[in-house]
Amino acid sequence: MEEPKKAKLSQQAAEQLLNMIMEEHCYESGSKLPNENELSELLGVSRTTLREAISFLVAQGVLEIQRGKGTFVARELPRFPGDMTALADLKSRARAQDLFEMRLIFEPATVALACMRASDEELEQIRRKAERMEQASATGGDWPAADQDFHLSIIRASHNEYMRRLYPIINDAVSEILQISENRQHMQEIAVADNRMILDFLLRRDDVGARYAMSIHMKHLIHTLRV
C-alpha cells in the first residue's frame, strides 16, 4: 500500500523541481543544484523520494548527473516535443490543477452575483445553454464548447465587467486542458450532473445554494485531475 503514495510524492517533487527550473528560473541551464540534504529539505521530501524525482527528470533530459560533481540542470533544456509526452503531461496536469483552483476561487462568487443580478431573460438564456450542453453531450457533439458557453452566460449575468473580460482567457486554457485530459469522459459526466445542480439554484435565485453548487463542481473537477 505504500508504493502508490511513494510514487505520488516523487511525482509531486519532480513537478515542483521542474517548475523551479522552467517557470521560476531558480536554477539556470548548466547550473548545479543544491546538495541532496539541502534540496530534500527545500522540497519537503525524503532523500529517497528526491532521488526518484531526480531520476525521472534525468531520464527526460532536464537534469544531468556528473559523477563526483553533483546534479546539474541540462545546458539545453527540452522544448517538450512529441517524444517528451511524460514530461509534458507532468506540466499540463500541474497547470490544469492551478487553473481549476483559480476557478474555485472566483466562479462560486460569480454565480451568486448572477442569482441576484440576472434578468429573467438572462436566466432563460442560461437554461437554454444548459440544455444545449446536455444535448451535445448525448449526441457526441462539442460538449466542452457548449459547457463553456453555459459558464460564460453565468459570467455575463453577474454583470461584473472584469469577470467577463477574464473568462475568455480561462476558456482558452480549459480548452487546451480538455484536449490532453485522460479523464475527458469522466469530466463530461461531472459537467452534465453538476450543471443541472447549478442551474436549479440559479433559477430559484438561491445565491447561497448556487455558490455551494459551483464550489462542489470545481472540487469535483480538481479531484478528477488528481486521479
Contacts 24+ apart (CB under 8 A), 66-74: 69/32, 70/32, 70/33, 70/35, 71/32, 71/33, 72/30, 72/31, 72/32, 72/33, 73/21, 73/27, 73/28, 73/29, 73/30, 73/31, 73/33, 74/29, 74/30
pLDDT of residue 182: 64
To the nearest whole number, what is the mean pLDDT of the chain?
85
pLDDT at 74 over 80: yes
Looking at the domain 82-226, which fold is it?
Four Helix Bundle (Hemerythrin (Met), subunit A) (1.20.120)
pLDDT of residue 186: 85
pLDDT of residue 76: 82
Q: What is the mean pLDDT of residues 192-208?
A: 97
Where along the chain do its domains lie? 2-73, 82-226
pLDDT at 204 over 50: yes
Query: Are 2-73 and 82-226 the same fold in CATH?
Result: no
Q: What is the mean pLDDT of residues 36-56?
A: 90
Cα–Cα distance measured from residue 101 to residue 79, given in angstroms and rounded to the nearest whole number: 26
- Of the pLDDT bands very low, low, confident and very high (cuts 50, 70, 90), residue 102 is confident
Contact 117, 111 (CB under 8 A): no
pLDDT of residue 90: 57
Architecture of domain 2-73: Orthogonal Bundle (1.10)
